[in-house]
Every structure is written in C-alpha cells, then in structure tokens.
Amino acid sequence: MGAPVVTEASARVLDDGTGRRPAASRAGRASPPVPSRRQRPPELVVVDLVDAAATWLRAPGPVERRRLAAELSAYAEAHGIAGIRLSKRREAPEAEVGTGTLRRPPSEARRALLHADALAAGGEDADLGAELLVDGTLEAAAVLARILETATSSAAARQAAGAVAQQLAALDEATRGIASVLSVDRVLQVIVDNVRRLVHARYAALGVLDEQRQIDPFITSGLSRIQRERIGPVPHGRGLLGLIIEEGRPIRIPDIAAHPRSVGFPANHPEMRSLLGVPVSVRGRVLGNLYVTDREDGVPFSDADQRLVELFAAHAAIAMENARLHEQEQRLAILEERQRIGRDLHDGVIQSIYAVGLMLDDALELAPDDPAEASARIERAIESINLTIRDIRNFIFGLRPEPLDQAGLVEALAAMAEEFRVNTMVDIALEVNGPADFELPPEDTGQLLQLAREALSNVARHAHAGHAEIDLVADDRALQLAIVDDGVGFDPAARRGPGHMGLGNMKTRAAELGGELLVESGVGRGTRVAVRVPVRGATSSSSGESA
C-alpha cells in the first residue's frame, strides 16, 4: 500500500489493491434497477450520476439517496471501484450514501486508509460541500472526485438560485403590500415572517417606536399566540434592543447572555442564543428595529444574512413611513372636509336664525302697542324659519353620496331642481344644450353641484321669484352652468353684510374649478349667476334635455 496522495481534485485516496467488486444491496432495501455499463455508455452513466448527486445534495431524502446509491453502483461497476461513500457535511448521519465495500460507514482504522478530502461547491461553500471515501484505484478516485465536485457546485448554484427566487418573491409580496396601502401591521408581519424564513432563523421580531420612544407595537414570528401571552408585556427597548436603537447600526452577537448590555429574558421566554439586529430608519431617523435570533442550523449569522435583514428593514421603513404619510393625508382630508362643511353651511344659516331671533324680539316689544305689526313680524319669522329648515335639508341632501356615485351631472341637477320645486313651490326648469352625458371627475361634479345649490338657496331665500331656470351649456372644451331667476334682483356692487357670504363661497368654488363666477342682476330685473369652467377629462354624448 502506498502513502496518501493529494490529487488535483482535492481528494486523498489510497489504493489498497484489493480489486473487490461492489457488494450487493442489503436484503429488503434494494436500490432501483439501473442498467449495467453494457446497457449505458460511460458518458451517460456520468451524466446520470451528476444529476443524482446534485439532487441528493440539494435535498437528501430517502428517494434521492436510493437513486444516488444506484448510480454510484453503476459508476463503480463501470470503472473498477470496489466501494464509494459520499456524505453531506453538517447533516444528520442519514445524509450519507454508500455502495460496494463502503455501503456501511467504515471503521476508524479502515477510514484512515480510504480518506478523501471534502469536496467544495465553488471552492468555498462548506454547507453544500461533501466528503468522498473511495475504495479503488487512484485514477478512478480522482476522476470521481472531479465529477462529484461538479455535482456539488451544481447543487450550490441551484440552491443559490432558489434562495434568490425566494428573496425576490418575498420582496415582491412586501412591495405589493406597501403599494396597496394595506394595514401597516399586516405589511410588517409579512416582512417579519419572510425575513425569518429566508435567513433560516427560529425567531424574528420587529419593534416600532412610539412617540415616547417605547416599543409599540411589537411584531413577532416563530412564536405562537399562547407563547406570546405567557411571555407578557412587550420589551421596553432597553438592553440589546435599545443598543440597536441608540447606536442606529446593525449588531451581530453570537452569545446574547455574554454581552454586557444583555438584561436577560422574562419568564416563559424561549431560550435564544445568537442575535442579528438592524435599525429600521428613514433619513437618519430610527423608527424601530428588526432582528432575528438563532439560525436553525446552529451556525452564526453571516454577512449575507445581515444584508438580507437590512434589505427587509428598508422595506419596513418604507411601509411605516407610508403609513405615517397616509395618516397625515387622512387628517388633512378630514380638516379640509370640516372646512368645506363650514363653508357650505356658512354664516347664512346662522345669520338667518339670528335674524329670526331679532324679529321675534321686535315683535315682543311691539305686541302691546302695535299688535298688527307684531303679528306680521312673527309671520315673517315663521317664513324665515321654514326657509332655514329647507336650506338645512338641502345641505343634508348635498352630503349624501348618491348624486355623485349613482348619477351624472345632468341627472343630479335634475334631482336638485325637483327637490327645489317641492320645497319652495317655485317653478323651475333644467335646460341642457350640447352634450348631456357628462363624466366629469367626481371632485369637479361635486363642486358644480354645491355651487348650484348655493345659487338656488339664494333664489329661495332672497329673490321672491316665481320662476327659476338651471341652464347647462357645454362643448368639448368648456362648460357653463347658470342659475337664472325672475325675482326682485339686487345691486351686485352694493356692499353686503356678514350674513351674505353665498356669492363669496361660489366665487371660491369657481376658482377651484379653474373658472370664474359671473353675476348679472339689478333691482327689479332678476338675477343670473353663471360659472364657466374648462372641461377636465370629460367624456360625453350629444343630446338635449329639459325638465
């Protein structure tokens, strides 16, 4: 027997010169039938062996092991090898396969004679490496070593591609959650679950800082609901979690208990040894931390693990910042809605009620000396109260979404005209010239309807008209809406008191639509209030309608 020789394939093999052939498979555990070398050309045997080895190295299960054992037997038969044994490193004992004289693990003495170095995937990925033992010629062992290194590298490449595909799928899921403005807690849970799975950690968590810089909420993965309840309150953000927040940098700790900032775990908390944590930050402002503990294979967290956790922390930061901006947008929308409601109600309703109060005060003073005048003022007060009630009812009608959600502009104006006719007993018509089926942006339609409602409210309250008309004229470039009445009219240049803000509100609405408000009136000759605005994205069909 010669001394061990290191081949260029990194395998040390000693030829014991026995020339023994592979032993038969054990009874009851026969390998799948494999064509002999006489039935398959050697190159096909090699191809099948590489495929079987790569499959087994990627997922060493019983089916894959039986297939690899059969292919190793075929290769041994074709190349005069007495025995072959292949084991996947850092795996359970069952992640081994052997054939011939090495069907079972050899003794230590026997192993010393048959030793071969680990085969590396790409030369550096030890987790996917494999160890080869050969009982045969040196040349056959060297060739087999190169073949299996190719298979190992192939398995590593496939696993790496699979890992990248998983990462992309997880990132896509998180990104779609952010883009669809899902509940921020739901998005963060997706991120925590995915990062734990992708780095093969037992546990993962994300702590979000509140305004007092305390952790709330605290989102976990790997713990059941019962385990969470048994642990008790969420962490306070001190200890190692506080270190991530304070320093705003990633930390990797192989032994949590040995670190000086460790404060221990509460009762019923699962044991955790290693930690990888990164800050969740936006523009230098730390919003929380994302961390994982204890890789399932027991090895320390790697640079690649840290890069992956940092990537998901960036997505968590985007989700949290989006949620904050969305909340601000909602608050702004509520504020704008309050301002709109205040403008819609404006001081007209309040002033009308106030004027009624003054009329009733005057009537009370006049009652002893001039009962007839007092009675007339009470009647006018009652009329004003009825008008105010109608205005409030019209306003409530305007808050309902049906005209915007279920009808176009023309149909909504027709409903408004009918309501005006019922409430005021004023004859009113709707005239449409040009396209009738307007599909305006909802905000434009709403502004036009509110403007028409303001104008009709002024007609009912001040005009003492017998007839009114809503005129809608449009083409593909502009739209004009006019409210015309045959009432007493007024001087548009005259200064109006604090109770007359309707025209001001209508001018504001017209400006918001990119148009202008035109008011034509005179004492004793009725009033025409019109707004002309550009049509923004309207689609229509031509027809005419009157009501």
Cβ contacts of residue 27 below 8 Å, gap of 6+? none
Q: What is the mean pLDDT of residues 218-247?
A: 79
pLDDT at 232 over 80: no
Give the CA distances from residue 325 to residues 320, 332, 527, in Å, rounded to whole numbers and listed in that order.
9, 10, 46
Number of independent structural domains in the chain? 3
Q: Mark whether 204 and 297 lie in a shared domain.
A: yes
Percent of the chain clearing pLDDT 90 (strictly above): 8
pLDDT in the model for residue 428: 93
The CATH code of the domain that includes 255 is 3.30.450.40
Q: Mark whether 293 and 419 lie in a shared domain.
A: no
Model pLDDT for residues 395-408, shown as the tens digit of each residue: 665 555 444 445 57
Q: Mark whether 425 and 499 lie in a shared domain.
A: yes
Sheet with 96-100: strands ordered across: 96-100, 83-88, 125-135, 118-121
Query: Could you say which DSSP state residue 327 is in?
Result: H
Check residues 6 and 71 and name the one with the higher pLDDT. 71
pLDDT in the model for residue 49: 86
Last residue of a domain, one of 104, 134, 155: 155
The mean-pLDDT minimum among 53-67, 236-250, 445-459 falls in 236-250
Q: Mark whether 213 and 100 lie in a shared domain.
A: no
Model pLDDT for residues 96-154, shown as the tens digit of each residue: 888 899 888 888 888 777 756 666 655 444 445 678 888 887 777 788 888 887 777 76
Q: Is residue 433 part of a domain?
A: yes
Q: Mark whether 126 and 205 lie in a shared domain.
A: no
Last residue of a domain, one of 324, 349, 364: 324
Q: Is residue 131 part of a domain?
A: yes
CA 17, CA 13: separation in Å to the nearest integer?
12
Q: Mark whether 271 and 173 lie in a shared domain.
A: yes
pLDDT in the model for residue 214: 73
Q: Is residue 216 part of a domain?
A: yes
Q: Is residue 221 part of a domain?
A: yes
Q: Is residue 367 part of a domain?
A: no
Model pTM score:
0.43
Q: Mark whether 37 and 145 lie in a shared domain.
A: yes
Helix (H) or strand (E) holding 83: strand 83-88
Q: Is residue 15 part of a domain?
A: yes
Q: Mark whether 413 and 546 lie in a shared domain.
A: yes
Q: Mark whether 529 and 438 lie in a shared domain.
A: yes
Q: Mark whether 136 and 274 lie in a shared domain.
A: no
Q: What is the rounded average pLDDT for all residues in the chain? A: 76
Q: Is residue 528 part of a domain?
A: yes
Q: Is residue 346 part of a domain?
A: no
Amino acid at 400: R
pLDDT in the model for residue 113: 76
Q: Mark whether 103 and 33 lie in a shared domain.
A: yes
pLDDT at 540 over 90: no
pLDDT at 369 over 80: yes
Q: Mark whether 206 and 127 lie in a shared domain.
A: no
**Residue ranges making up the domain that contains 253:** 166-324
Last residue of a domain, one of 324, 351, 379: 324
CA 280, CA 303: separation in Å to the nearest integer?
18
